[in-house]
Structure 1
Amino acid sequence: LRRRIGYMPQIGRFPDHLKVGHIIDMMREIRRGTHERSDEDLIDAFDIKSIAHKQARTLSGGTRQKLSACLAFLFDPDVLILDEPTAGLDPVASEILKEKVRAVRGSHKLVLLTSHILSDLDDITSDVMHLVEGKLQFYRPIGELMEEHGETKLNRVVARIMRESANSLKSC
């Protein structure tokens, strides 16, 4: 089951002394024989090969995010779990990653995203699930939520629902 999942943590942590190229090679070695092909689209789009010689400790936060994204998508997983995927990315890298998510969604794979920046999700998600302290508050299609609340932006809908929820808890 694990081999079918790609995971991108909010903060990528890699052994400081390893070079970027070695990290990628190590992941390929660990998963050798379990995947027919690798997906190097993000490696190419983020030009990761040009920094293959750099040690992980020298990478900026944004470059660590790019490497984490590359590793999450590398083995063409059926399920992707992306935790705050655009955090620390510049606008160009953020758009590249969002395009990749759109492409993967189009291939009928499950993509689970967490984000506090809901505007990042407007154009790449179809459903929204809201959790508070691990408890499901709602799970609905985005279009349905927007229509029901008369809004065109996801962050406005969720903010309205959160305010209403907080007010109803206060009145109890």
Structure 2
Amino acid sequence: MVNIQQLRKSFGRLDVLKGVDLALDTPGIKAILGPNGSGKTTLMKSILGMVIPDSGTITVAGDPIRGRWDYRSQLGYLPQIARFPDNLTVRELLHFVADLRKEEPHWDPLVERFGLTPFWHKRLGHLSGGTRQKVNIVLAFMYDAPLLMLDEPTAGLDPVALQSLKGLLREERARGKRIIITSHIMDFVEEMADEIVFLLEGTVYYQGTPQALKDRYGQSRLEPAIAEILRDPYAAPRPVAQRSAHHNGATRPISSPQTILS
């Protein structure tokens, strides 16, 4: 559904995106990862039309997005930091957003799922950060958008709300939605993501499954595998034996960096 070709973006002398090629066209949950400054936010905002690339193309559902805004009706967006007037109540905010779109919103099941009924008439400025995040999740999911873009969706959520979010994501994935997330919580990514796109210095360093990345670094969990990349991205992965890791009593070799730089 989203295809990106040779996307480039600079801010002054800083090259943020350096010819990104990326296809996000199959259903499922895709996690865009990378260290600070790798281009994650710029890439997300480019897809949303909030940043205009210097060159390259982005297509959504087969149509280029440059100079167009109508494609946004196909998106549900959860920003990392959402700013709404503090004097609005939860009810007023949802109705305000609904008045801006032609589609019929469906927020009742989401309000119930995330326990927001007691806060329906509370002003946003009186809500905790976690409760505000629940409101933001409702805003992102209340239209039946085929593409969902979620920037740090777990921020501020308690364990109950986190389980509700995971359940919602699984349901939407089962319905064939394309879901793009960013997150610094590797346990969440490992559990939920079907595919990882790892950005480094404005380019796609790795695209593939979490399991394939763990296998290449001989790790049983995603977080240590990511840490291996960040320690020295262009060094060959160390053999498992050097990490004192064994599998069925034998060490397993790991592929060369060329297989990871894809």
TM-score (normalizing by structure 2): 0.59
> Which one of the candidate residues 107, 126, 144 is aligned to 2:194?
126
Offset from partner CA, 1:28-67 (integer Å, 9 cap, x none): 22223x34x6254321111222211111111111111100
| Matched AA of 2:94 | I
The TM-score with structure 1 as length reference comes to: 0.88
Look up the match of 1:145.
Answer: 213
Preserved contact between residue 42 and residue 70 of structure 1 (Cα < 8 Å): yes
Alignment of 1:3 onto 2:78: no
Q: How far apart are 1:167 and its partner, in Å? A: 5.7
Runs (4+) of structure 1 exceeding 4 A deviation are none
Partner of 1:55: 123
Aligned pairs (5 A) from 1:93-172: 93-165=161-233
Question: Structure 1 CA distance, aligned partners of 2:218 and 2:90?
Answer: 47
Q: What is the 5 A alignment of 1:79-90?
A: 79-90=147-158
Cα RMSD over matched residues? 1.8
Q: Equivalents in 1 of 2:201, 2:84: separation in Å? A: 28
Deviation at 1:129, TM superposition (A): 1.0
Alignment: residue pair count = 166
Structure 2 runs not aligned, ≥5 long? 1-70, 237-262
Q: Rg larger in 1 or in 2?
A: 2
Answer with 114-123 or 142-151: which moved more.
142-151
Structure 1: runs of 5+ lacking an equivalent = none
C-alpha distance 133-59 of structure 1, shift in aligned 2 (>3 A): farther
Partner secondary structure for residue 165 of structure 1: coil
Aligned counterparts of 2:108 and 2:169: Cα–Cα separation in 1: 14
TM-superposed CA distance for 1:81, in Å, is 0.7
Q: Distance in 2 between matches of 1:58 and 1:135?
A: 41
In 1, distance between residues paired with 2:228 and 2:156? 27
Please give the secondary structure, in 1, of the residue aligned with 2:99: helix
| d(CA) in 1 for partners of 2:107, 2:209 | 29
Seen in structure 2, the aligned counterparts of structure 1 residues 156 and 109 have a Cα distance that, compared at 3 Å, is same
- The yes-or-no answer on 1:21 pairing with 2:91 is yes
Q: Please state which structure has a larger fraction of its residues in strand.
A: 2
